[in-house]
């Protein structure tokens, strides 16, 4: 195991940058996120659409779902669709998303702990937190680069080259670049190299792009998607189902779920 | 009218892009969700609607004949071998249809022609396809003059219906 | 600016088009050409390509010779009558006398055919039999997938190649990958053109929101005519469907 994953880079950083500035930066990023999401909601009217949808489903409902059952559905949705990203229709997409999702959560969580508790020149950081911080970034890089080079629908189905960047790539690209620069900063700073300053600056900039771009990027999907999934499953339970037909009750007569090979990407 | 995508349900998997026979389902570069880029060339074949794993695609019938406020939605379940349609009218009337799409497990009963007996030179020169004459099933037919020298069904010339046809 | 490559494929039998005709040709070719390299090239995806992409609830021309319902000559007379004499009778006869065995084979593959009380196929008129054909194309495409050596999806063939060593002979075809833009060159000993017919040649009579809508698939844009014409075939293509709308 390379030693840089055991060293908390914020400790050395706090020699030159006051701790309060580091903490202020994190708070600023959080504020940018909240502000961006609120602006997004106001602009896209998606919360209004969400409640309108709920109203439509209620009008078309065939049965009344008791509260206890509703709670059960919500728990199941959280467990299946949210926690294990079960909505994805292919295992590769699911695994890549899980790596990226949990990697980012661990990375951000560990960042908060490091910056708010162990970012002074004399801090003694528990190794596990530092390891988790690096692990989070590594997982994010693994999942996001896999997605970027191979799984992204523009590359996989549309045949575009991996280096074609469009507006919608803002979130994934800024997220993976942030994680990459974070790892590089930590590596070079532990090695005592002057390159660490460059990567620190790039790390800061990519964080600002990531959190500042919330209004324009797909960042906020992490807040909207669980709500949409819950709504979908509640609609299935009450019979409205977005006007979709019920699954056929014909028994699996053609070979107990023989799944054909899906039509390939080109 | 052409197909359209519900953004909240679409997750950008690209199955519709893969299947569209008209090559008009593509991914929007601003939001990475599916979009029908050329409604004029949509034949409403419903291939994308059936292929979408999230049921995120829908189509509206032409205003010339489809009643206003209607909804036609489909669920194709390949493992069960069924296709289900639900047609909803604006007054709440609902019509449900379920049809089979296959009677056998997919691909299991396709003849392994490469393993069949090799055709000889006479077979190559004859007019019969690989599964003929057995699959014509005219063994059920007692009337021998209905089979010509090629082994294929035919009608005797003197039994042709009389009259002038262009 | 993007790096397009040229992809070569040498095959024994090249089938241009992966619709009902192309997939059928692929399957049949495998029986006659045992270990040959049989390649089927389709501009869309073979699972849902061609005019039967959406499925079909009837087979429009079934003789029923096994029950003495019709004979191939009856069909030729019907087609000649319908098209005011503008038919190739020999091709119509050939198609009609083979169609029954194909339908019986599809039934064995899993295509659901509707039956009437006597156990015969349910007819709707003299020539049509009714089927549950939503997956008519996927079922036939399965057969092609199992028979072809390789299937190229999303490759559009634009030109046929002339064989330089043999006179008056097609040597294959070239085309473009619809996704990557790569140039594909197929060199084949025999080429079967099963591409689509041509819709939108005349403006359809549909009005209102359905204006411009054709009965035939809009993605059948004339390849099966264009390919031989552009390669200066003297003897024009055989067996093309001809409909008046």
Where does the pLDDT of residue C245 fall: very low under 50, low under 70, confident under 90, or very high at 90 and above? very low
Q: B29-66: b or e for each residue (b if 16 or more CB lie within 10 Å)?
A: beebbbbbeeeebbbbbbbbbbbbebbbbbbbbeeeee
Backbone angles phi, psi at A13, to 5 degrees: -60, -35
Check C153 against A161: CB less than 8 A apart.
Answer: no
Going residue by residue through chain B (166 aa), what tens digit of pLDDT does each one get? 889 999 889 999 999 999 999 999 999 999 899 999 998 889 999 999 999 999 999 999 888 889 999 999 999 988 888 899 999 999 989 999 998 888 888 888 888 888 888 888 888 888 888 888 788 887 655 555 567 777 787 877 777 777 666 5
Check B73 against A168: CB less than 8 A apart.
Answer: no
E strands within C140-220? Answer: 150-152, 155-162, 170-177, 183-193
Q: Quick one: pLDDT at residue C234?
A: 61
Nearest to A93 among B13, B18, B29 (CB): B13
Select which of B41, B43, B106, B130 is catalytic: B43
**pTM of the prediction?**
0.89
Where does the pLDDT of residue C244 fall: very low under 50, low under 70, confident under 90, or very high at 90 and above? very low
Which tens digit of pLDDT belongs to each residue from A154-175? 999 999 999 999 999 999 999 9
Backbone angles phi, psi at B104, to 5 degrees: -130, 160
- pLDDT of residue A73 exceeding 80, the answer is yes
CA distance A166 to chain B (A): 6
Q: Quick one: pLDDT at residue A133?
A: 95
CA distance B120 to chain C (A): 10
Note the ipTM here: 0.89
pLDDT, average across residues A25-29? 96
Check B106 against A90: CB less than 8 A apart.
Answer: no
Chain B residues whose beta carbon lies within 8 Å of the beta carbon of residue A157: 14-15, 17-18, 27
- Does residue B43 have an active-site annotation? yes
Nearest to C97 among B47, B152, B165 (CB): B152
More confidently predicted of A260 and A172: A172
Check A88 against B11: CB less than 8 A apart.
Answer: yes
The rounded distance, in Å, linking the Cα atoms of A161 and A159 is 7
How open is the CA angle C153-C159-C164, to the nearest 5 degrees?
120
Considering chain A, what is the average pLDDT of its residues?
Answer: 91
The rounded distance, in Å, linking the Cα atoms of A238 and C65 is 52
Beta bridge partners of A86: none
pLDDT, average across residues A119-137? 93
CA distance B99 to chain C (A): 7
- Of A225, A237, A261, A241, which is closest to residue A80 (Cα–Cα)? A225
Q: Quick one: pLDDT at residue B18?
A: 94
At CB < 8 A and 24+ separation, what contacts does A164-167 make?
A: A166/B29, A166/B30, A167/A216, A167/B29, A167/B30
For B70, what's the count of Cα atoms within 13 Å in the CB-facing half-sphere?
Answer: 17
pLDDT, average across residues C205-225? 83
Check C48 against A263: CB less than 8 A apart.
Answer: yes
Considering chain C, what is the average pLDDT of its residues?
Answer: 88
Specify the 3-state DSSP secondary structure of A93.
helix
Backbone angles phi, psi at B57, to 5 degrees: -110, 145
Backbone angles phi, psi at C102, to 5 degrees: -65, -45
Lowest mean pLDDT among A71-80, A145-154, A200-209, C2-11: C2-11
- pLDDT of residue C103 exceeding 90, the answer is yes
| Residue A247, C-beta contacts closer than 8 angstroms, at least 6 positions apart | B75, B77, B80, B84
- Matching residue, tokens 């009259």: B163
Nearest to C45 among A254, A260, A263 (CB): A263
| Residue C116, C-beta contacts closer than 8 angstroms, at least 6 positions apart | C122, C123
| Residue A108, C-beta contacts closer than 8 angstroms, at least 6 positions apart | A136
Q: Quick one: pLDDT at residue B134?
A: 81
Which tens digit of pLDDT belongs to each residue from A6-17? 999 999 999 999
Here the tokens at position B87 are 């047609």
Q: Quick one: pLDDT at residue C71?
A: 86
The rounded distance, in Å, linking the Cα atoms of A234 and A194 is 56
Other Cβ atoms closer than 10 A to C35: 9
């Amino acid at each position: 195991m390379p030693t840089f994953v055991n060293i908390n880079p914020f400790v050395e950083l706090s020699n030159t940058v006051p701790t309060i500035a580091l903490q202020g930066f994190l708070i600023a990023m959080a504020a940018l996120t909240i502000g961006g999401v609120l602006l997004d909601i106001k602009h896209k009217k998606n919360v209004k659409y969400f409640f309108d949808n709920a109203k439509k489903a209620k009008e078309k409902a065939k049965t009344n779902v008791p509260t206890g059952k509703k709670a059960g559905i919500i728990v199941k949705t959280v467990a299946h669709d949210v926690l294990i990203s079960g909505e994805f229709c292919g295992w590769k997409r699911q695994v890549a998303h899980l790596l990226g999702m949990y990697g980012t959560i661990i990375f951000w969580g560990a960042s908060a702990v490091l910056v708010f508790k162990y970012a002074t020149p004399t801090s003694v950081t528990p190794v596990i937190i530092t390891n988790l911080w690096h692990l989070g970034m590594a997982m994010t890089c693994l999942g996001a680069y896999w997605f970027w080079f191979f799984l992204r629908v523009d590359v996989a189905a549309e045949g575009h080259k991996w280096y074609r960047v469009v507006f919608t790539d803002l979130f994934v690209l800024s997220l993976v670049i942030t994680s990459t620069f974070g790892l590089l900063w930590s590596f070079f700073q532990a090695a005592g190299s002057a390159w660490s300053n460059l990567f620190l600056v790039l790390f800061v900039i990519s964080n600002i792009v990531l959190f500042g771009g919330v209004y324009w990027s797909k960042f906020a999907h992490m807040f909207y998607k669980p709500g949409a999934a819950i709504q979908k499953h509640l609609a299935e339970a009450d019979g409205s189902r977005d006007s979709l037909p019920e699954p056929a009750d014909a028994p699996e007569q053609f070979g107990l779920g023989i799944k054909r090979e899906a039509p390939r990407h080109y | 009218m052409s197909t359209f995508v519900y953004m909240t349900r679409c997750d950008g998997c690209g199955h519709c892009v893969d299947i569209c026979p008209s090559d008009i389902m593509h991914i929007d570069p601003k939001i990475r969700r599916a979009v029908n880029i050329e409604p004029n060339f949509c034949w409403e074949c419903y291939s994308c609607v059936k292929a979408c794993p999230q049921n995120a695609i829908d189509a509206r019938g032409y205003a010339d004949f489809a009643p206003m406020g209607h909804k036609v939605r489909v669920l194709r379940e390949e493992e069960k071998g069924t296709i289900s349609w639900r047609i909803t009218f604006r007054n709440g009337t609902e019509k449900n249809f379920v049809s089979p799409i296959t009677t056998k497990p997919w691909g299991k009963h396709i003849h392994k022609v490469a393993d069949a007996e090799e055709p000889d030179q006479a077979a190559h020169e004859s007019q019969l396809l690989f599964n003929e004459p057995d699959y014509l099933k005219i063994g059920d037919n007692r009337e021998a003059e209905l089979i010509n020298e090629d082994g294929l069904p035919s009608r005797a010339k003197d039994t042709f219906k009389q009259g002038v046809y262009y | 600016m993007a790096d397009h490559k040229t992809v070569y494929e040498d095959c024994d039998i090249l089938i241009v088009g992966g619709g009902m005709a192309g997939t059928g040709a692929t399957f049949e070719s495998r029986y006659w050409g045992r270990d040959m390299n049989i390649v089927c090239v389709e501009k869309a995806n073979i699972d849902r390509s061609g005019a039967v992409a959406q499925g079909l609830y009837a087979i429009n021309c079934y003789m029923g010779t096994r029950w003495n319902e019709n004979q191939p000559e009856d069909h030729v007379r019907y087609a000649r009558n319908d098209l005011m004499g503008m038919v190739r009778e020999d091709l119509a006869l050939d198609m009609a006398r083979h169609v029954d065995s194909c339908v019986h084979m599809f039934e064995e593959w899993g295509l659901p055919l509707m039956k009437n009380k006597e156990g015969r196929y349910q007819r709707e008129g003299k020539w049509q039999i009714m089927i549950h054909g939503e997956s008519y194309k996927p079922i036939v495409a399965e057969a092609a997938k199992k028979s072809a050596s390789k299937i190229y999806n999303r490759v559009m063939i634009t030109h046929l190649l002339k064989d330089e060593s043999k006179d008056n002979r097609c040597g294959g075809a070239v085309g473009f990958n619809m996704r990557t833009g790569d140039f594909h060159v197929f060199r084949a000993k025999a080429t079967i053109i099963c591409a689509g017919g041509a819709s939108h040649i005349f403006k359809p009579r549909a009005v209102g929101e359905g204006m411009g809508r054709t009965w035939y698939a809009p993605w059948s844009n004339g390849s099966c005519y264009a390919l031989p014409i552009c390669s200066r075939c003297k003897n024009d293509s055989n067996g093309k469907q001809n409909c008046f709308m």
